[in-house]
């Protein structure tokens, strides 16, 4: 189901460049976010939230949560044992290859072909009401990146993803 949701979000946002981070979110418009300022992380197995080929999954998980924690702290949220929200994230990464003819401005197609390898990634955050267990907000940061860029794009992706959280009802 997660893959279906991410594919749907990717289709909504479309393709971006290697420096573009697109975000999309959805939330329960009837839910009152006011006065709710505490959260706790949903504990899941690393293989349920990170791609199987991610190097050092435990360190990646710590980094991702720390970046979310820093941003949430900056906007007035705190971790708590008895929270208002439970948070869960997951990441999906797909290898992509674009192929096409080289062209020039003067003569058009040269007859040569190019191949551009990159990864398309999605970072999804789910926010669940701790009492009712209802999903109240979901956001996704979607981006294209080249090898070695993933870690440096995490912080801007999380910042952009949470820029409109909590929603203003």
Domain ranges of the chain: 2-161
Q: Is-contact 129 17, C-beta < 8 A?
A: no
Region 121-130 average pLDDT: 93
Say what the pTM is.
Answer: 0.74
For 82-166, strand residue ranges (E) read 85-104, 108-129, 135-145
Q: What is the DSSP letter of 29?
A: T
* Prior bond of 166 cis (ω within 30°): yes
Q: How far apart are CA 160 and CA 90, in angstroms?
A: 16
Bridge partners for 122 per DSSP: 92, 142
> What architecture (CATH level 2) is domain 2-161?
2-Layer Sandwich (3.30)
Averaged pLDDT of the chain: 79
Query: What pLDDT sits at residue 51?
Result: 76
60-98 residue pLDDT tens: 899 899 999 999 999 999 999 999 999 999 888 776 666
Going by the DSSP 8-state scheme, the letter that residue 152 receives in this structure is: H
21-46 residue pLDDT tens: 899 999 999 999 999 999 999 998 88
């Amino acid at each position: 189901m997660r893959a279906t949701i991410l594919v749907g979000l990717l289709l909504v946002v479309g393709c971006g460049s290697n420096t573009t981070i697109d975000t999309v979110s959805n939330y329960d418009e009837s839910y009152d976010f006011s006065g709710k300022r505490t959260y706790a992380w949903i504990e899941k197995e690393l293989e349920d939230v990170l791609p199987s080929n991610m190097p050092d999954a435990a360190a990646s998980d710590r980094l991702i949560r720390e970046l979310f924690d820093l941003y949430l702290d900056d906007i007035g949220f705190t971790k708590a044992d008895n929270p208002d929200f439970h948070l869960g994230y997951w990441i999906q990464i797909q290898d992509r290859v674009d192929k096409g003819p080289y062209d020039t401005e003067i003569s058009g197609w040269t007859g040569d072909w190019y191949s551009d390898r990159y990864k398309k990634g999605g970072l999804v955050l789910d926010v669940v009401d701790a009492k009712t267990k209802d999903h109240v907000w979901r956001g996704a940061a979607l981006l294209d990146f080249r090898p070695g860029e993933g870690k440096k794009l995490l912080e801007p992706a999380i910042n952009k993803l949470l820029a409109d959280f909590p929603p203003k009802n």
